[in-house]
């Protein structure tokens, strides 16, 4: 039976080569100094063993050049590796502007992915090769870690806040997906696969595949919640009124608060406004808006609902009719119809 045990997972992302180079360089340098120390220990052990004729007079000897070398070389190497690693970290944490958004929810013990057009999948993530993909992630229960070994990328997924990661697949194929943070008794079963597809195949899959329940986009599902079950349009309309402020073209604008200064409206502010509106009360208004955090804890409101609520989408012409009814603090109305979002949020 041939030996078939790879020492490292395949390299399938734009990050992989850079991280492998840093990792193997560190390994080689560690091996070099380890061998140097081991050989030195063995040499001195043999030379000064009991009964040897080695000179043991211990003469006083000082060499400033040797001391500076022993201090300088490790310092230069340490700073050099720090700079190398920092450059890669900054690159990993700074997504480009042209990214494809996918939303991911981690929960015991599965991964749930949702594409902006409404396609959903469990424990599987389809992505296009050669395109930048950004995942916006959150946990519905405990801390998880979204880990794709072949892409050399990992990000913590925590309850109560969004985290993001991005990558660019370079090779088509199927790759392992793991939860890399112990999250309970079935942690070892919380895995799946990432399917990297050629762009044309991915486009075909996206238009026909995945789980579609219900067959609506995230913005459409959000609009249904906004105008129906949550009845947000009873207070938030196209213009400011005594019940609530207008949120037309909110995204990217600075909003002032009576109890928390001011902040540029982004996905994080929207989430906080949904769950804990009393933390930042819009100037000129009181604490009338109900908090939905308790519903999230009870399970009557899910992280998937909040994801729909926090998804900026391109505006569409038929906006004008619904703009008179609602503006979208929850972003559920589908900024599609209200032109709420002039631009994408920037990562923090």
Classified by CATH at the fold level, domain 218-338 comes out as: Cytochrome Bc1 Complex; Chain D, domain 2 (1.10.760)
Contact 252, 343 (CB under 8 A): yes
Q: How far apart are CA 36 and CA 41, in angstroms?
A: 9
Classified by CATH at the fold level, domain 7-45+95-213 comes out as: Immunoglobulin-like (2.60.40)
Residue-range domain boundaries for the chain: 7-45+95-213, 218-338
Q: Among candidates 185, 190, 144, which has minimal Cα distance to 163?
A: 144
Residue 336's pLDDT is 36
Please write down the HEC assignment for all residues of the chain: CCCCCCCCCCCCECCHHHHHHHHHHHHHHHHHHHHHHHHHHHHHHHHCCCCCCCCCCCCCCCCHHHHHHHHHHHHHHHHHHHHHHHHHHHHHHCCCCCCEEEEEEEECCEEEEECCCCCEEECEEEEECCCCEEEEEEECCCCEEEEEHHHCEEEEECECCCEEEEECECCCEEEEEEECCCCCCCHHHCEEEEEEECHHHHHHHHHHCCECCCCCCHHHHHHHHHHCCCCHHHCCCCCCECCECCCCCCECCEEEECCCCEEECCHHHHHHHHHCHHHCCECCCCCCCCCCHHHHHHCCCCHHHHHHHCCCCCCCCCHHHHHCCCCCCCCCCCHHHHCCECCCCCCC
Residue 344's pLDDT is 43
pTM comes to 0.60
The conformational region for residue 295 under phi > 0 = left, psi -120 to 50 = alpha, else beta, is alpha
- Backbone dihedral angles phi then psi of residue 248, each to the nearest 5 degrees: -65, 130
Residue 78's pLDDT is 92
Query: Over the chain (348 residues), what is each successive 10-residue block's mean pLDDT?
Result: 66 89 93 94 86 72 83 92 92 89 92 88 92 93 93 92 92 92 91 92 81 58 69 71 73 78 78 78 76 68 67 40 33 37 41
């Amino acid at each position: 039976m041939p030996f078939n045990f790879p020492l490292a997972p395949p390299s399938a992302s734009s990050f992989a080569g850079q991280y492998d180079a840093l990792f193997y360089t560190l390994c080689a340098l560690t091996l070099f100094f380890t061998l140097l120390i081991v050989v030195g220990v063995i040499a001195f052990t043999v030379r000064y063993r009991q009964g040897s004729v080695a000179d043991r007079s211990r003469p006083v000897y000082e060499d400033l050049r040797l001391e500076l070398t022993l201090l300088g070389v490790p310092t230069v190497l340490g700073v050099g590796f720090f700079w190398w690693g920092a450059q890669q970290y900054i690159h990993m944490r700074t997504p480009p502007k042209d990214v494809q958004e996918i939303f991911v929810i981690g929960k015991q013990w599965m991964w749930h992915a949702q594409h902006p057009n409404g396609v959903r999948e469990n424990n599987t993530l389809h992505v296009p090769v050669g395109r930048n993909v950004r995942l916006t992630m959150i946990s519905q229960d405990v801390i998880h870690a979204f880990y794709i070994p072949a892409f050399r990328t990992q990000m913590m997924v925590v309850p109560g806040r969004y985290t993001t990661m991005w990558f660019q697949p370079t090779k088509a194929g199927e790759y392992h997906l793991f939860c890399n943070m112990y999250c309970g008794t079935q942690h070892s079963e919380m895995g799946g696969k990432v399917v990297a597809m050629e762009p044309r195949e991915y486009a075909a899959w996206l238009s026909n595949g995945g789980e579609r329940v219900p067959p609506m986009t995230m913005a459409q599902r959000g609009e249904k919640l906004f105008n129906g079950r949550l009845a947000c349009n009873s207070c938030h309309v196209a213009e400011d009124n005594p019940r609530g402020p207008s949120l037309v073209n909110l995204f990217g604008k600075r909003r002032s608060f009576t109890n928390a200064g001011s902040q540029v409206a982004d996905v994080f502010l929207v989430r906080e406004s949904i769950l804990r509106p009393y933390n930042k009360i819009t100037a000129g208004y009181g604490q009338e808006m109900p908090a939905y955090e308790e519903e999230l804890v009870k399970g009557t409101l899910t992280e998937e609902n909040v994801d729909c609520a926090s998804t900026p989408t391109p505006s569409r012409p038929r906006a004008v009719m619904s703009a008179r009814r609602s503006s979208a603090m929850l972003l559920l109305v589908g900024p599609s119809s209200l032109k709420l979002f002039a631009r994408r949020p920037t990562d923090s």
